[in-house]
Amino acid sequence: MKFNVSVCCDKCACTTHCQLALFNRPQQPWTFRCAACGAQIDITMAANGDHSKVVTKVQGASKLHERWL
């Protein structure tokens, strides 16, 4: 299960586009740095048992939009 997400860095307001995947686990954490200022951005994906519902949480940035592929 993959999705595209765009986030806006809380520190410098730079937009980052990324494609992430959820593997066979209930939670998938991702951490990366803003390409412009180096601030840490954390995205955690949490799914229910059959992955029919997935929730994403973003820290260090604001989620602009996401789209499941």
In the complex, which residues of this chain contact Zn ion (CB under 5 A)? Answer: 9, 11-12, 14, 34, 36-37, 39
Instruction: Compute how many other C-beta atoms are within 10 angstroms of the C-beta atom of residue 43.
Output: 21
Nearer to Zn ion, 47 or 61 (CB): 61
Q: Which is nearer to Zn ion, 43 or 47 (CB)?
A: 43
Least Å distance, CB 12 to Zn ion, is 3
The smaller minimum CB distance to Zn ion, of residues 39 and 46, is found at: 39
E-assigned strand segments in the chain: 2-9, 15-21, 27-33, 40-47, 54-59, 61-68
**What is the smallest separation between the CB atom of 60 and Zn ion, expressed in angstroms?**
9
**Closest approach of Zn ion to the CB of residue 45, in Å:** 21
Cα–Cα nearest to 22, from 3, 42, 49: 3
In whole angstroms, what separates CA 12 from the centre of its chain? Answer: 18
